[in-house]
Structure 1
């Protein structure tokens, strides 16, 4: 496996020179965050970012992510223009030597939380999602301002338009629009030598009347069967999928391993119906058996990029919620320990 870490570019409080000090981490997961959604990612900008990463002795392993324009998800007449731009961006990734592209197909919101600073008894803080709290938030008039992390993403008019537009889009239509998108972009990705891997919806259920479809094993199997191509794959996110206790993560690995191109390994503590908080990576601290997942990955021969995901804010660190350095560094160390143990137990069994 290739141990990687998410980095948000020059404005990230976590600097590359510190990431390189986390033992075992050799790769970076990043993106062109200043490129407007729907526009082509310039090759020159990708190379500039790659060279910045390489200068610190690290490799640009994964793009996470090129956002899919909402017109594509809605199936509007304008989607072909945005799909053409997406294809051009994929070709530029291939030219730049970046072989893995994580993306998602969530409407309006990416990951959604109701609290970015859930307190632990030890004084640390983590992200959390409380379904009842979301219901209270959704009854207000300023939903986008009330949802942590989203206040600066949309203008009020754009947000209202999207929320209304997606109310008329059911899950069947979302699947149709995803299939249309994949049939356009996957052949381009295959020709460019890029493996696309969809990220599960986070949390893995519909929220606020918005249709979410990438939520479980059946959905992931349906996705990879739309186009039989090694470029049509999935991101195994143990935190997103693990928020639903009905998801059997080791079984998913066994069934999907040939199409798993990227892994997010993190833990969540499920604390009620559709409610959870992010937990330390350690299995005993949450609801995900991290060792069982790692052992399945090892047994199936997974060798691609993996990264610790959302971490707590610990030791007084202040930064981007979920993406401080310290707890993710602990997570990277823990994952490497799991990997070594899984390799040895598989070898001896």
Structure 2
């Protein structure tokens, strides 16, 4: 397992690369060009600047999260071919600088959804929170205002400029079914996977967050059955999954351990984080510690060890602790604690395997 840490870029992140380098076992950053609108070809000079910064810090740029997919591709509009062509050119450039994995998602309009960015926990920390009753029948426009007003940082997937056409986007998705989304995803993969294969890139789709329909929008990356359908759309190691335990774990019916064993050879990138799910459908993000949430983090790490996982992992979201002023979910302290917890579990599995081998 290769440990990474998501970084939003110089001047756009409270965590400097020098701090990331000091977290034991972290070998690379998970990065993106966050100022690039979806659908545009990434400029080589900006890619090389991130590589230069990472190289100087002694970190790799193997994992890119995300190269966003334009809504016209998800909708299957005639204009999609232009944006797919730009996507192919970006894949080529990223391959040329050594990128190995591109994380992306196929969620309509919203990349992720929460109702509170700083919900207090019992220990005095705060965390991202989803309150189901506030979503049912809620006005999505009000939620956009809430998310952007509640943070002094830009929020990927919730940028004001990206959502300025929200009304027309909702109109565009009227009548778009899950079947349409599958058809449009198949078209997209048919075009980009051969390019990814050629340039040594593994595409890794992120599950929908949360893994169910919101505001009547179709969502398809929600379950083990649907991940099974995904890998059959294009039979290639480059058609992979970013297995996110927090996203999929919001639905208690999802068995993450089973998914790891079934799709192990199709998981180049793992997001490992915990959440606590309540009986009414609410959920809150917790520490990574197994006992603090309802996701079996210990079982998940054991499953990765059992399949001989050599892909990339990151601790994903963290709580806001010790009065840290940071991007919601992406501070230094709790994610660094999460990494050490994950390494502890991994080392325990390594030791158990060695003892078993001796016996």
TM-score bucket (shorter structure): over 0.9
- After superposition, residues 229-248 of structure 1 pair within 5 angstroms as 229-248=236-255
Give the structure-2-normalised TM-score. 0.94
Shift of 1:45: 1.7
Q: Given that residues 104 and 206 in structure 2 are in contact (C-alpha distance below 8 angstroms), is that contact kept between their aligned partners in structure 1?
A: yes
* Partner Cα separation in structure 2 for residue 155 and residue 242 of structure 1: 27
- After superposition, residues 285-324 of structure 1 pair within 5 angstroms as 285-324=292-331
SS in 1 for 2:233: coil
Aligned to 1:51: 52
Aligned to 2:5: 5
Aligned to 1:17: 18
SS in 2 for 1:291: helix
- After superposition, residues 153-302 of structure 1 pair within 5 angstroms as 153-156=161-164, 158-302=165-309
Q: 2:348 aligns with which of 336, 341, 349?
A: 341
Aligned to 1:99: 100
* Partner Cα separation in structure 2 for residue 39 and residue 209 of structure 1: 28
Shift of 1:23: 1.3
Shift of 1:345: 2.5
Shift of 1:143: 4.3
SS in 2 for 1:298: helix
* Partner Cα separation in structure 2 for residue 347 and residue 74 of structure 1: 51
SS in 2 for 1:197: strand
Are positions 1:86 and 2:94 aligned together? no
Q: Given that residues 295 and 346 in structure 1 are in contact (C-alpha distance below 8 angstroms), is that contact kept between their aligned partners in structure 2?
A: no
SS in 2 for 1:137: coil
Q: Given that residues 261 and 303 in structure 2 are in contact (C-alpha distance below 8 angstroms), is that contact kept between their aligned partners in structure 1?
A: yes
| Deviation readout 1:286-330 (Å, 9 max, x if unpaired) | 011111111111111111111101100000101100000000000
Q: Given that residues 115 and 143 in structure 2 are in contact (C-alpha distance below 8 angstroms), is that contact kept between their aligned partners in structure 1?
A: no
Shift of 1:145: 1.5
Aligned to 1:30: 31
| Residues 127 and 142 (structure 1), Cα distance of their counterparts in 2 relative to 1, 3 Å cut | closer
* Partner Cα separation in structure 1 for residue 320 and residue 141 of structure 2: 31
Uncovered stretches (5+) of structure 1, i.e. residues with no partner: none
* Partner Cα separation in structure 1 for residue 163 and residue 260 of structure 2: 40
Aligned to 1:117: 118
SS in 1 for 2:95: helix
**Count of paired positions:** 347
* Partner Cα separation in structure 1 for residue 343 and residue 163 of structure 2: 42
Shift of 1:135: 2.4
Give the structure-1-normalised TM-score. 0.96
* Partner Cα separation in structure 1 for residue 258 and residue 354 of structure 2: 20
* Partner Cα separation in structure 2 for residue 151 and residue 63 of structure 1: 19
SS in 1 for 2:278: strand
